Amino acid sequence: MSKDIRIKKGLDIKLVGEAEKTTDAAKASSYYAIKPEDFHGIIPKLLVKVGHKIKAGEALFHSKSDETLVFPSPVSGEISEIIRGAKRKILEIRILADATQVHHDFGKKDASKMSGEEVKAHLLATGCWPFIKQRPYDVIANPANSPKAIFVSGHNSAPLAADLEYVLAGKEAELTAALTALTKLTEGSVHVVTKKGGNSPLANVAGTTSHTVSGPHPAGNVGTHINKIDPVNKGETVWTIAAQDLIIIGEVLLTGKFNATRTIAVTGSQISNPKYVTAIAGANIKDLVAGNINLDNTRVISGNVLSGRQEGAEGVLGYYDNQITAIPEGDDYEFFGWNKPIFNKVSTSRALTFSWLKPNKKYDLNTNTNGEHRAFVTTGTYEEVFPLDIYPMQTLKACMYADLDEMEALGMYEVAPEDFALTEFVCVSKQPHQKIIREGLDLMLKEIG
Amino acid sequence: MSLKSKLHNLKEKYKGKKMAPAFNALHTFLYLPNETTHGGTHVKAADDLKRTMNTVIMALVPCLIYGMFNAGYQHYLATGAIEAADGFLGASFWTLDNLILGAWQVLPLVIVSYGVGLAVEFLFAVIKGHEVEEGYLVTGMLVPLIVPVDIPLWMLAVAVIFGVVIGKEVFGGTGMNILNPALTIRAFLFFAYPTWMSGDKVWVHGAVERSQQIAAGQNVDAISGETLLGAYAQNSTLPGIDYWDMFWGLIPGSVGETSKFLIIIGALFLIFTKVGSWRIMLSTIIGALVMGLIFNGVVDAGWIPDTSKFYGLMSVPFWQHLIIGSILFGAVYMATDPVTASQTNKGKWIYGFLIGFISIMIRVFNPAYPEGVFLAILLMNVFAPTIDHYVVQANVKKRMKRLKVKTA
């Protein structure tokens, strides 16, 4: 049964530097890097050594707890460096890319004729499994489980996010193949949520349940959709997968090749010409933004400003990310910044902050915290930007004092850190909401499992 | 070298030292810090706690200024030096004489409140090594507005120390306290020095002094220092005061609570800026009106003889309860303290309603002191977590029910 979800609570943070709808091919990076920290909770066991030659799609490492869960190389080439941190933790695996890419051939498959177990085995073997995440806990899905439903969001409402309708256009065959494969993985429905009034190639694919959504961010967050369509109860699992990753899965099925090429939105006020580029996961950010960025006191983020990762201009594109954001650092003092009227920053209050006067103005926000860390004081502000049927402040506090029963009762099974990105943005006390939720989920995973 | 870089160098120098919180408190007062985001969201909204607190202070400033004028006005009026003012803009109210006398009385209260309170806050911040939090900025402003104008300064200082230490710091500081610190201070004064905080002498500047002179045998006229509520509780009333005087605030009372007009303006400002909770303000007023209506009903039904000592306040028309006493001030500035109020939106309705309801109940039945607002708010501060618990449990039960339907 399809639903029309309307979100009222939320906030669209309008920023300068939206990507123009033209796509260039980024120049090939000299090396590509995979960071195991992209795969939260996975302890990597290396399958390669420095100097090994590897084809695109061949495994770099597997999960320590599950040998079948392999993580593929996005490119073909030679393992050039394995960077380790404290306690020999693997931070980065660098691959020197070949000039002409060679792909491992996994063989063409017709998903509609495969059984659920066959699809599962094929996705694991081809290294596509890490694209599938699960709730509870917001980690890579456990292949041993069977989810009650699978959710795909076809709408990205985060600030400056890549327009999914634009980047998915022309990939109908891959998307259909991938969605067909997903329908084999669950007894329940594959819910696909697209923007209301849009024209997404994801909508109305046979075998899936299509929904539409409208309203401010987080209207596009899959956590919002799950909460409104089929919330996660204790003991239940749902799987989620990002729309762009469906293309990679679809291509594996249709051609047998693992091709982690994505269309990336290069955005933010420090980018001189915001646009889309095509690039392979793990590419060097400096190759994606070459000649197109002002590097003077700039923060470069892989992902969006709410839940992306600070990478720096020398960093790499995150494994799941389809956006680069560059904004100015805010490491300067502001005279009487706490009481003078503010016109150039976003606020949900009207306490001499005037962003309510111009709801459509685009802001050039920097990374200043605009205040110091404090205990929770104000109430009711989070609820205004939090559309889930969950009490955000009570949940955060339960995580902070690590009361597992209360966390469970308040709905922690349903949430991911990104659901608390907006409450973190508006937080007057500057509390790190996403970190609190992540640590709470990790604790639950460890204690309850 | 600019002031900015000088202060930055000093901050680096003090980093990790005992005095760092004290220095940072002064530094962040001048400059928004240069902190940037790490992990989590890379951008943050413009508001911080200082801005929120500052907004409340701005809403209180008109009440403070009015309180100064009123302190002088009430004194000169009681001594017979001036005629009663005619309305809010009355000629004998906004005079320099009134302001000078009032400021002379009220400003020391403000200075003592902030000086003593912030000293305690800085001390705790340095001892415990946390930053000085902004909660006291509002408390320090509220305290002079809710005490009688002639209160001795030492008494105020003792109460402020008690209120900040016992009301707040022992719980962990701003954001952790159970009771509203300003009202804790008020309650301490009330119970520790009852003869000062009630009765018919303390509400007008000079009244106490004059009564002492009379007791000493001097031949001078007494000054009445009674509030309207006090008079009603005695089944009498004050001469020459009409409803408009009560609304504009031309009556004796605590320093900042008399002008309902300015309180309403402050309330509108707080609601507009989204800093104060309109739910609590509205539901407190509804609660007060309901209790007032019940008392009026009891009087109309003839269940209470007009010789009863409760008759005077019970027979006050229900809507007048809003313009006498401090119910509006309490509803707007005290009940809405987000730390001690209910934290859920549904809880705020219940919490506010009960504050209004109980305020008027105490006002009518309290034999010792004819005002109940601060007691009602403190009582509901204690019950606010309980209210929230049941509101949140409703959400939890919904989740449990969903699970049962699924597994059934």
For B14-30, the pLDDT digits (tens) are: 777 777 887 888 888 88
Which residue type is seen at A299?
Answer: R
Q: Do B8 and A432 touch (CB under 8 A)?
A: no
Same domain, B209 and B219: yes
Minimum distance, in Å, between the CA of residue B404 and any CA atom of chain A? 10
Reported as a pLDDT band with limits 50, 70 and 90, residue B253 is confident
Quick one: A241 and A132 in the same domain?
yes
> Looking at the structure, do residues A49 and A191 belong to the same domain, yes or no?
no
- Nearest by CB: A370 against B4, B40, B48: B48
Residue B144's pLDDT band (boundaries 50, 70, 90)?
A: very high
Report if residue A93 sits inside a domain.
yes
Whether residues A200 and A282 share a domain: the answer is: no
Total number of domains in chain B: 2
Bond preceding residue B370 cis, omega within 30 of 0: no
The DSSP H or E segment spanning A176 is: helix A172-183
Say if residue B153 is in the same domain as residue B21: yes
The mean pLDDT of chain B is: 87
Q: Looking at CA atoms only, how far is residue A331 from chain B in angstroms?
A: 5
What are the angstrom distances between the C-alpha of B120 and each of B141, B393, B394?
15, 38, 40
A176: tokens are 């259909």
**Strand A334-335 vs strand A323-328: parallel, antiparallel, or unpaired?**
unpaired
Domain interval for residue B324: 278-408
Segment holding B120, helix H or strand E? helix B96-128
Q: Looking at the complex, does the CB of residue A366 fall below 8 Å from at least one CB of chain B?
A: yes
Mean local confidence (pLDDT), B107-121:
93
Does residue A83 lie in a domain region? yes
Residues B167 and B26 in one domain: yes
Range B264-287 average pLDDT: 94
Do B152 and B247 fall within a single domain? yes
Q: At what angle do helices B373-407 and B181-192 cross, to 10 degrees?
A: 140
Give me the pLDDT at residue A193, please: 94
Rounded to an integer, the average pLDDT of B279-293 is 95
Q: Are A139 and A288 members of one domain?
A: no
In a domain, residue B144? The reply is yes
Separation of alpha carbons A327 and A269, rounded Å: 6
> Could you tell me the two tokens for A243?
């729309």
Are residues A265 and A322 in contact, defined by beta-carbon separation less than 8 angstroms?
A: yes
Residue B395: how many other CB atoms lie within 10 Å: 17
Same domain, B269 and B287: no
CB under 8 Å to B335, separation ≥6 — which residues? B280, B281, B284, B341, B351, B352, B355, B377, B380
Q: What is the pLDDT of residue A351?
A: 85
Mean pLDDT of B66-75: 91
Residues B139 and B217 in one domain: yes
Residues of chain A with pLDDT under 70: 1
Taking an 8 Å cut-off on Cβ atoms, the answer to whether A349 and B339 are in contact is no
Residues A241, A143 share a domain: yes
Residues A153 and A8 in one domain: yes
Which residues in chain A have their CB less than 8 angstroms from residue B173's CB?
A: 375
- Same domain for A180 and A234: yes
Mutate to test the interface with A, among B2, B26, B51 (most CBs of A within 10 A): B51
pTM of the model: 0.91
The answer to whether A337 contacts B174, with C-beta atoms less than 8 Å apart, is: no
Cβ-defined contact of B277 to A425 (cutoff 8 Å): no
Band of the pLDDT at B40, cuts 50, 70, 90? confident
**Nearest-angstrom CA–CA distance, A82 and A49:** 8
DSSP line for B366-406:
-SS-S--HHHHHHHHHHHHHHHHHHHHHHHHHHHHHHHHHH
Residue B291 has pLDDT above 90, yes or no: yes
Query: What residues 198-237 of chain A have any CB closer than 8 A to a CB of chain B?
Result: 231, 233-236
Residues A199 and A241 in one domain: yes
* The last residue of a domain, from among B252, B276, B300: B276
SS3 B79: coil
Residues in chain A: 449
* Domain assignment present for B40: no
pLDDT at B88: 83
* B177, part of any domain: yes
> Are residue A225 and residue A85 in the same domain, yes or no?
no
pLDDT band at B270 (very low <50, low <70, confident <90, very high): very high
Residue B367 is predicted with a pLDDT of 66
Helix (H) or strand (E) holding A23, with range, is strand A20-25
Chain B residues in contact with A433 (beta carbon < 8 A) = 40
CB contact under 8 A, A371 and B34: no
Q: What's the rounded mean pLDDT across residues B359-376?
A: 83
Which residues between 375 and 394 in chain A have a beta carbon less than 8 angstroms from any beta carbon of chain B?
A: 375-381, 383, 389-391, 393-394
Contact A434 B45 (CB under 8 A): no
B406/A236 Cβ within 8 A: yes
Same domain? For B28 and B56 the reply is yes
Residue A396 domain-assigned (yes or no): yes
User: How many folded domains does chain A comprise?
Assistant: 4
Other CB atoms within 10 A of residue A115 CB: 9
In a domain, A374, yes or no: no
Are A119 and A216 contained in the same domain?
Answer: yes
Tell whether B314 and B237 lie within a shared domain. no
Query: In this structure, is residue A432 part of a structural domain?
Result: yes
Give domain status of residue B140, yes or no.
yes
Chain A positions touching B45 (Cβ under 8 A) are 345-348, 370, 425-428
Which residues have CB under 8 Å from B196's CB, separation 6+? B148, B151, B152, B155, B189, B202
pLDDT of residue A312: 78
Q: Give CA–CA dist A30/A10, Å, rounded.
A: 41
Q: What is the DSSP code (8-state) at residue A365?
A: -
The chain B residue lying nearest A344, using CA atoms, is B46
Same domain? A226 vs A123: yes
Both A180 and A206 in one domain: the answer is yes
Is it the case that residue B258 has pLDDT exceeding 70? Answer: yes
The answer for A 417-436 residues in CB contact with B (under 8 A) is 421, 424-430, 432-435
Query: What is the rounded distance in angstroms from the CA atom of residue A91 to the CA atom of residue A84?
Result: 5
Interface probe with B: pick from A301, A349, A397, most Cβ of B within 10 Å: A349
Does residue A60 belong to any structural domain of this protein? yes
Residues A77, A79: Cα–Cα separation, whole Å = 7
CB contact under 8 A, B43 and A13: yes
Domain boundary residue, one of A255, A273, A307: A255
Q: What is the pLDDT of residue A1?
A: 67
**Residue B272 resides in a domain:** yes
Residues 147-166 of A with CB under 8 A from B: 159
Tell me whether residue B41 is in a domain. no
Residue B100: inside a domain: yes
**Which residue among B227, B259, B276 closes a domain?**
B276
Q: Is residue A295 part of a domain?
A: yes
Task: For B325-371, give the DSSP string.
Answer: TTHHHIIIIITT-TTTS--SHHHHHHHHHHHHHHHHHHHHH-SS-S-
Contact A369, A208 (CB under 8 A): no
So what's the pLDDT on residue A422? 94
pLDDT digits (tens, 9 = 90+) for B180-232: 999 999 999 988 888 777 666 677 877 777 777 777 777 777 666 677 777 77
Report yes or no on A320 lying in a domain.
Answer: yes
Residue B199: predicted pLDDT: 65
Answer yes or no: is B236 within a domain. Answer: yes
The structure tokens listed for B245 are 């005087």
Check which CATH number belongs to the domain holding A113 and give it. 3.40.50
What residues contact B367, with CB distance under 8 A and at least 6 apart? B309
Residues B169 and B22 in one domain: yes
Residues ≥6 apart with Cβ < 8 Å to B393: none
Sort out which chain B residues have CB atoms less than 8 A from A301's CB and list them.
42
* Residues B248 and B311 placed together within one structural domain of the fold: no
Domain region containing A57: 31-97
Q: Which residue of A has its CA nearest to B49?
A: A428
Listed residues B276, B309, B335: the one ending a domain: B276
Residues of A in contact with B54 (CB under 8 A): 338-339, 351
CB A396 within 8 A of CB A422: no
